[in-house]
Amino acid sequence: MGPLLESWRFWALLAAAFAAATAILAKVGVTGVSADAATFVRTAVVLLLTGAILAVTGQVQGLGSLSGRSLVFLVLSGLATGASWLCYFRALSLGDAARVAPIDKLSVVLVALFGALFLGESLSFLSWIGVGLIAAGAMLVAFAG
């Protein structure tokens, strides 16, 4: 089990599974509640959970070693996350989870583009075809039905 826990693919698959659960659970949870209130509850749960993980694993002191640059980018990332969640919950309150989630996953396409443009990352030609298929699939699910 050791090598599995060190595999980025393992954690990425778990993230995908939890993201799928998030969409379904949030769609049910947002019924009859404002999207912003639902986002607040979700955010509070995430804050409490990650705080507990830091405390249990003894990583709280690591917060003091964050560089100024890291802190700025993590704060910006947090703001982007909050904006994403607010928009996601608003979309879920207005549309079907099966259509909202694929559009949300266009973030995969945008990450590939932004990674190439701003971080100098490169993907193979075959990988770019996959990115294109993700975009096409998301659009088909969201708009063709």
Domain spans, the chain: 8-95, 105-145
Up-side HSE of residue 71: CA atoms within 13 Å toward CB?
A: 7
Up-side HSE of residue 66: CA atoms within 13 Å toward CB?
A: 13
- pTM recorded for the entire structure: 0.82
CA dist 52 and 15 (Å) reads 19
Please tell me the predicted confidence (pLDDT) of residue 4: 87
Run means of pLDDT, 10 residues per run, the chain, 145 residues = 86 90 92 93 95 94 92 95 94 92 93 96 97 95 82
